[in-house]
Structure 1
Amino acid sequence: MVVLAKGELEQIALPAVHKTAPPLADVPEVDLAVAGRGSEGRAAAARAVAAACEEHGFFKVTGHGVPAELLARVENAAAAFFALSQRDKEAAMSAATPGSPFGYATPGSPFGYASKRIGNNGDLGWVEYLLLGVTAATGGPLSVPEGVVPSASLCSFRDLLNEYTEVVRRMTCQVLELMAEGLGMDDRDAFTRLVLHKESDSMLRVNHYPPRPELKLLQQHGGGGRVTGFGEHTDPQIISVLRSNATSGLEIALRDGAWVSVPPDHTSFFVNVGDALQVLTNGRFRSVRHRVMVNSARPRVSVIFFGGPPPRETLAPLPQLVGEGGRSRYREFTWREYKASAYRTKLAANRLCHFETTS
């Protein structure tokens, strides 16, 4: 497989962590099929979702109804895109290319293809990725600009990602409804309407972590460490819904700060509580700190849907979750304000600390 430009990558000192992988996580599981089996099944699923969000901010979704054939096609298409030469990938998706084939890349835009550099604050990782905007009308990545004629293969990839995003966003809204019900809220659409809003700031990210076969040899001889693919962080949005191939690498931090490794499961989805949801729930749900480590032998491909609120949406703890006479742990701010603040920080920073109340 043709991956990142080796000469350029080897000039960059990527962050490494401990030599040995952490223990396997006991990941909470929520079966969405159970939620469709009458009121008792739905109530049980809602309780399970709320418990997982309170304890870990992270859980696995099964019984989601997303066709396995669609998941396989997306995985294969993503692998084919990342197997292109570095020049072809950059030509296809570079933000410097007017009329990018997918339509997301404009001068100064964060969307498009990139590798190694994560954000604008010096964070590095052994990763290449596509970061794509999602339109409210279709639920899929932005359409091709008028007058632009992309290649047939890129059109096919775009259409496939549109199909995938529409299906996954519907499933995401099911999960958000269960979250609201699990919190005992009267309005079960309180979170969903933000993601479905016509100006919702949602995104799709496709990550590719090339393997590093030399790591295993180095470790066998007592040298080297594990290489960071994507450094530790929390997600700023309301919710993140991830699906990956059958390659390990994802790790999450527990409440006590200990790291655990998430067993790969290419048939399921993994849900992260984001910073915005932590604020809306007044800290009852906690955004999960997570990272991705590089596998020594196999490439890892993951696709993440980030459900975000509209830029002008005011975020603050919902009154029902604060309670009469209760303390709001966060001040009011807009999503645009928070996003601007978050993107000025390093990946591992505690972004929410700037928005906490002091009394």
Structure 2
Amino acid sequence: MNCLQTWPEPIVRVQSLVESGIRKLPNRYIKPPNQRPQTTTLLNPLQEDINIPVISLQDLFTGDESLRKATMASISSACSEWGFFQVVNHGVDPELMKRVRDTWHEFFELPVEAKQLYANSPDTYEGYGSRLGVEKGALLDWSDYFFLHFMPLSLRKQEKWPSIPNSCRTLITEYGNEMVRLCGTLMKILSLNLGLEEDHLQKALGGENNDIGACLRVNFYPKCPQPDLTLGLSSHSDPGGITLLLPDENVPGLQVRRGNNWITVKPVPNSFIVNIGDQIQVLSNAIYKSVEHRVIVNSEKDRVSLALFFNPKSDLIIEPLKQLVTKGRPAMYPAMTFNEYRLYVRMKGPCGKSQLESLKSLRS
């Protein structure tokens, strides 16, 4: 892990670039023509009517079994066909969602000197950051972020969390607990939909919540002078289990790959965006699929989103579940720990689905 101790070049805060008044993007942020939003986004006007599935979880908790099964079927279809869906009526207080989003807006509005107290390094990424990956000379994304560990408790270090605004640490704890609870509910549904016992996927990721990994990345995408030339976050699939994203309802930015096109997600009020990570694709033997996604930026408005990653225990071996391996559907991926898998991501940064696809060659 020595290669992950320091960043390869001096760190530049994207927010500071904007505040300096620049009108042209530095070359480090300009994407190749085939990766720029205006050349790869679906231009068909019918795209305005396309969105990822929106699913209400309310019927999961009623006594009507037919409604419960219909909701579960909708989730199963979204996991296999889209890899993404939005959930509403999920049981998380909308006021909590608003407060935590507003608090992180306040953090990123602090002077850079106050935020620099939390500057991170690539060994854990925990803290205030502005790049992913340690490849020297790599093209960079137009974003800053704050990354922190929430679970397991042995990695939770609240002294590394922002102390300003004053409510931040308390809100992170309250919000994190709600996210872990909601992830647990979704994992049960995914397990049952795969024909497994309801706790099977949870156990496959490490068992109890105290062993499973959960981390939060708060993304800050400053307004950009040339948004048609760059991305807030390059195309990637999430390396972990599942992700819960609290989007910015006022500034859309998330795009999901659908075939050869990019669909801009339209956030529904008080919703979470759920997406399947690479480890669930491996465990399900590709019945459920992680999907490439990216973030575009805006010329007039900043954008904040919160991503809670629900991940396997770091040293746990992950491989296709034997119940989902058959003669007609042999195991598609080799056994590998989550630590081994995400090391690639930490070194290279976002790289589409190249890591997961490369594992298939190890089986042949």
Report TM bin, short chain.
Answer: 0.7 to 0.9
Cα deviation per residue 1:85-129 (whole Å; 9 max; x = unaligned)? 1121112x1237xxxxxxxxxx943111012x2222324111110
Question: Secondary structure of the equivalent of 1:126?
Answer: coil
Against the structure 1 CA distance between its residues 144 and 253, is the aligned structure 2 distance closer, same or farther, given a 3 Å change threshold?
A: same
Q: Which residue of 2 aligns with 1:29?
A: 54
Question: Secondary structure of the equivalent of 1:296?
Answer: coil
Give 1:57's aligned amino acid: G
Separation (CA, whole Å) in 2 of partners of 1:161 and 1:69: 14
Q: Which residue of 1 aligns with 2:358?
A: 354
**Deviation (angstroms), 1:12:** 4.6
Separation (CA, whole Å) in 2 of partners of 1:339 and 1:63: 32
| Match among 262, 270, 278 for residue 267 of structure 1 | 270
Separation (CA, whole Å) in 2 of partners of 1:177 and 1:347: 29
Cα deviation per residue 1:107-161 (whole Å; 9 max; x = unaligned)? 943111012x2222324111110011113349x953238xxxx985355211111
Separation (CA, whole Å) in 2 of partners of 1:27 and 1:225: 23
Separation (CA, whole Å) in 1 of partners of 2:76 and 2:30: 34
Separation (CA, whole Å) in 1 of partners of 2:129 and 2:70: 42
User: Could you tell me the TM-score, scaled by structure 1's length?
Assistant: 0.84
**What are the equivalent positions in structure 2 for 1:223-302 lying under 5 Å apart?**
225-246=228-249, 247-254=251-258, 256-302=259-305
Separation (CA, whole Å) in 2 of partners of 1:238 and 1:264: 22
| Match among 93, 116, 134 for residue 150 of structure 2 | 134
Q: Which residue of 2 aligns with 1:13?
A: 28
Separation (CA, whole Å) in 2 of partners of 1:346 and 1:40: 44
Q: Which residue of 2 aligns with 1:103?
A: none
List gaps (5 residues or longer) in structure 2. 1-12
Separation (CA, whole Å) in 2 of partners of 1:344 and 1:245: 28
Give 1:37's aligned amino acid: T
Against the structure 1 CA distance between its residues 151 and 241, is the aligned structure 2 distance closer, same or farther, given a 3 Å change threshold?
A: closer
Q: Which residue of 2 aligns with 1:160?
A: 171
**What are the equivalent positions in structure 2 for 1:1-359 lying under 5 Å apart?**
4-6=15-17, 7=20, 10-16=25-31, 17-19=36-38, 21-22=41-42, 23-24=47-48, 25-38=50-63, 39-91=65-117, 93-95=118-120, 108-115=123-130, 117-121=131-135, 122-137=138-153, 142-144=157-159, 153-185=164-196, 187-193=197-203, 194=205, 196-212=208-224, 214-215=225-226, 225-246=228-249, 247-254=251-258, 256-323=259-326, 326-349=329-352, 350-356=354-360, 357-359=362-364
Separation (CA, whole Å) in 2 of partners of 1:165 and 1:151: 15
Question: Secondary structure of the equivalent of 1:4?
Answer: helix
Query: Percent identity at matched positions?
Result: 29
**Deviation (angstroms), 1:324:** 5.9
Q: Which structure has the highest helix share of the two?
A: 2
Against the structure 1 CA distance between its residues 51 and 238, is the aligned structure 2 distance closer, same or farther, given a 3 Å change threshold?
A: same
Are the counterparts in 2 of residues 202 and 306 from structure 1 also a CA contact under 8 Å? yes
Are the counterparts in 2 of residues 3 and 86 from structure 1 also a CA contact under 8 Å? no
Cα deviation per residue 1:236-264 (whole Å; 9 max; x = unaligned)? 0010110112211110001x221111113
RMSD of aligned residue pairs (Cα, Å): 2.6
Give 1:81's aligned amino acid: F
**Deviation (angstroms), 1:201:** 2.6
Are the counterparts in 2 of residues 313 and 334 from structure 1 also a CA contact under 8 Å? yes
Separation (CA, whole Å) in 2 of partners of 1:18 and 1:354: 26
